[in-house]
A and B are shown apart, each in its own frame.
Chain A
Amino acid sequence: MNIQIKRYFYGDIPEENTGGGNAGKKEQPGSVTWPLWEVFIRSKQGLDHKHVGSLHATDAKMAIENARDVYTRRMEGISIWVVESQYIHASNPDDAEAFYEPANDKVYRHPTFYDLPDEVKHM
C-alpha cells in the first residue's frame, strides 16, 4: 500500500489538506483517510510546547500515542499536545507583503534605544 504522508510546517497548511472533515474530498479506494494532527512537544519543564510535525490518527487518544511513538523516541520531550490540523487557521502566504513587510523599517519598535543602568541585571 502506498501511503504518502506530507509534512507541512506551521502556518503553511494548504486549506484542502488540513485533514479531518473529509466532506467533499475524493476518497481513493484503499487510501488512508484518517485525519491529520499537528504535534507539539515540550522538551522540559518551563519551556513551551514546540511544533514538531504532524501525523495521522483516528482520534485524540491515538494521536497522542502515535506522537509518543513517532516524535519522542529519542527523549525529545516530557509533554505532548495534539490538535487536529483542520482547527488550525493559517495566514495566507499571498498576504505576506501586506502582513510582514511594513515592519521592515520600524527599527524603533525594538527596545534598544535607551541606556541600561549598570544596576539592572539579567537583561
Chain B
Amino acid sequence: MNQQTIFDYTIHLADNALVIAQRNSEWCGHGPVLEQDIALTNISLDLLGQARSLYQYAASIRNKMNGNDQATEDTLAYLRDAREFRNCLLMELPNGDWGQTILRQFFFSVYQYNLYQYLQRSSDNTLSAIAEKSLKEVTYHQRWSSEWVIRLGDGTEESHRRMQNAVHELWMFTGELTTPAGYELEAARENIGVDPASLKAAWSQTIAEVFQEATLDVPATGWMQTGGKEGRHTEHLGYILAEMQFLQRTYPDSKW
C-alpha cells in the first residue's frame, strides 16, 4: 500500500474535522442561548479530538516515509498552507446565521455518520479504531443537528425562511462530500478507506427525510462546486488559517 495515499486520505479526514471545529468554535460565547452555546462548543471539541487522533496518525506515517520530517500533529495543523489542506469547501464557509451553522453541521454529521460506519471496517487498524470511537460522538451530532434543522425549518416564519436560505446558500457545496478524490478511490481499492460516492444514497435519504419533517425543500441537484479535496479552496480558508496559525507562526514552538 502506498504510504502517500494513506497519508493523503488521513489528512483529508483530519482537515475536515479541524476546519469545521475551528469554524464552530467561533460561536463560543456568542451562541443564541447558553445551553446551545455549550452544545456547539462540545461538538467543536469532539471534532477537534478526532482531528488530533488523525493528525497524530498522519504524522507517524509521514515520519515513516521520511525520517527527517519530524512531523507532529501540531506541525500538520499549524504549519501547512491553505493549498495543502484537503478539507471539503463546505467546512470553511463562513458561519452565517445560527441556522446556516446548524445546517452545515447537519450536512457534515450525516456524511460523517455514514462514513465512519464503513471506516470501522477499514483494514487499517488505526483508522478503524478512530472511526469506532468517533462514531459515538457523531451519532449525537447527527441527532442534535437534525433536531435543530427540524425545529427551525418547521418553526416560525422567520426561522423557516432563514433555514431555506441556508439550504440555498450551502447546497452547491454538498456535492463535494460524496465526490471522490483520487486518494479516496485508491484508499477504497485497498480497503483502507471508503469511496464517498457509495455513501451518497444513504446521505441523500437522511437529508430528504429530515427536510420533509422540517418542511424544507430539497433543491434540485444542480451544479456542484468542488476543489477543496485537491487543495483548491475558497478565499475563506486563508483567513481561518491566519487566525488559527498566527500564534505558532509568530512564536514558533511556544507553549502554555
Contacts and interface: CB of A to CB of B under 8 A. Distances in A.
Contact of B147 (A5, A56, A62, A73): A62
Contacts of B34: 3, 5, 55-56, 70
A32 B35 contact: no
B33 interface: yes
A1 B35 contact: no
Contacts of B42: 69, 73
Interface of A: 1, 3, 5, 32, 34, 55-58, 61-62, 65-66, 68-70, 73
B39 interface: yes
Given A3-B33, A34-B33, A69 B147 contact: no
A55 B36 CA distance: 11
B95 to A, nearest CB: 16
Interface in B33-59: 33-36, 38-39, 42
B179 to A, nearest CB: 33
A39 to B, nearest CB: 11
27 contacts: A1-B32, A3-B33, A3-B34, A5-B34, A32-B33, A55-B35, A56-B33, A56-B34, A56-B35, A58-B151, A61-B147, A62-B147, A62-B151, A65-B39, A65-B143, A65-B144, A65-B147, A66-B35, A66-B36, A66-B39, A68-B140, A69-B35, A69-B38, A69-B39, A69-B42, A69-B144, A73-B42
Given A61-B147, A65-B144, A65-B147, A70 B38 contact: yes
Contacts of B143: 65
Given A34-B33, A55-B35, A73-B38, 5 more contacts: A56-B35, A65-B143, A65-B144, A70-B35, A70-B38
A32 B42 CA distance: 22
B45 to A, nearest CB: 9
A15 B38 CA distance: 28
Contacts of B33: 3, 32, 34, 56
A32 B39 CA distance: 17
Interface in B114-131: none
B29 to A, nearest CB: 12
A49 B116 CA distance: 34
